[in-house]
Amino acid sequence: MSEPDVIKPEMMRSYIWLQTADGSIQQVEQEVAIFCPLICHEIHAGMGSSKTYPISLPARVNPVTLSLILDYCRFHQVPGRSNKERKSFDEKFIRMDTNRLCELTSAADSLQLKPLVDLTSRALARMIEGKTPEEIRETFHIPDDLTEEEKLEPLKNITDDPRIRLLNRLYARKRKELKEKEKLKNVEVEAEHVDDRSVDELLSFINGENGDSKEVKTVKNKKKNRRRKDQQKNAPVCTISNSSAAPNNAIKESNGISSVGHDDRVKGHCLPNINELLKLQDSEDDRFGLEDEFDDCDIGDGIDPEIKEQIDREVEDFARRLNSDWPERVQELLSLGQERRPSLYTVNGNGCSARRSSSTGVEKHEK
């Protein structure tokens, strides 16, 4: 406790000592400090009662944000305030530049001060919603490190599995190459399939509402998909060694797609279970262990040529099937590990058919 020259009643309060990561120590009224759950725990553990044993605050709390947090706590810990007063305080409190707001969010989170995290999150959310990606990047200085290709790529099931990430990147590259090949050919404008539209519109929808650019992107995507379909139809029998069911399915699919009248699915729909499939193929781990080197866009480097060839073949096949139906794709991917786990299909077969009515819808179309 501090020792004032003149002891006034209001100074006879307990003070808590806090230390921020930069080493500076300050004292705060106890009733204010205990508003932060983390500090409260520390106090109960016996810390902070003197200058020699201050409570060490997490690294994310610097002196400036600490002072803001304490202002917040000082106001809100007073029990008699009305909701209106608190709301009014919050609205004024939250007015600060985005940098400070982010720092404050981070600090409040590390101190487990949930009401403040909620308040700052909502403020940040208001800054994000309704803005175009460009505007958001500008507001927060987010680096624009996705390639155009990646931005247009349909979102697939995310996973930390390095094989999926690798495959996704390779597919993207392969698609690009196919697109370039098609530029040499003469393609007529065809009627659009609903399947095309679904992903394209989802993408444009995801990518933003800029009228013109959206339409351009949509048209571009449609052309891309159409060319790919042509490629599919013209492609010879698939050269993937361990995929026996492939050729028939390819032809079937093309027909299947053109007869699809209405369809609730999105491309990403089918992939959720691939993760499980590939995880089970443990011995494949070694081959794909090189994934750490692939974190940048240029995936050409550092791949074992033998693996590369195998991957290329798989990628070509996968690229061909980008519009394909779920059951066929499962079969293919399973065939990668068919020797090892023949029972896989049953497990996922059940999962597949139980999952959505739309997959039974697909089966109907195949007939």
Query: Which residues form the interface with another protein (CB under 8 A)?
Result: 62, 64, 98-100, 102-103, 105-106, 109, 117-118, 121-122, 124-125, 128-130, 133, 136-137, 140-146, 151, 155-158, 194, 197-198, 201-202, 204-209, 262, 264-266, 268-269, 272, 356-357
Could you tell me the two tokens for 252? Answer: 């079937």
Are the C-beta atoms of 20 and 62 separated by less than 8 Å?
yes
Count of alpha carbons within 13 Å of 307, Cβ hemisphere only? 18
Nearer to another protein, 252 or 355 (CB): 355
Nearer to another protein, 88 or 360 (CB): 360
Could you tell me the two tokens for 85? Answer: 């007063």
Nearer to another protein, 46 or 130 (CB): 130
Q: Quickly tell me which residue has 């004292």 as its tokens.
A: 27
Nearer to another protein, 106 or 331 (CB): 106
User: What value, to the nearest 5°, has the Cα angle with vertex 292 and ends 291 and 294?
Assistant: 65
Angstrom distance (rounded) from CA 276 to CA 299: 25
Nearer to another protein, 252 or 365 (CB): 365
Angstrom distance (rounded) from CA 108 to CA 117: 6
H or E element that contains 55:
strand 55-56
Nearer to another protein, 198 or 324 (CB): 198
Q: Write down the least CB distance from residue 207 to another protein, Å.
A: 6
Q: Write down the least CB distance from residue 260 to another protein, Å.
A: 12
Select from 274, 282, 280 the least CA-distant residue to 352: 274
User: What value, to the nearest 5°, has the Cα angle with vertex 290 and ends 316 and 241?
Assistant: 35
Q: Write down the least CB distance from residue 155 to another protein, Å.
A: 6
Angstrom distance (rounded) from CA 295 to CA 298: 8
DSSP string, 7-41: --GGG-S-EEEEE-TTS-EEEEEHHHHTTSHHHHH
Could you tell me the two tokens for 165? Answer: 């990430």
Q: Write down the least CB distance from residue 15 to another protein, Å.
A: 27
Q: Write down the least CB distance from residue 74 to another protein, Å.
A: 22
Are the C-beta atoms of 156 and 196 separated by less than 8 Å?
no
**Residue 102, C-beta contacts closer than 8 angstroms, at least 6 positions apart:** 124, 140
Nearer to another protein, 124 or 246 (CB): 124
Q: Write down the least CB distance from residue 264 to another protein, Å.
A: 5
Nearer to another protein, 153 or 332 (CB): 153
Q: Write down the least CB distance from residue 123 to another protein, Å.
A: 9
Q: Write down the least CB distance from residue 311 to another protein, Å.
A: 21
Q: How many CB atoms lie within 10 A of CB 237?
A: 9
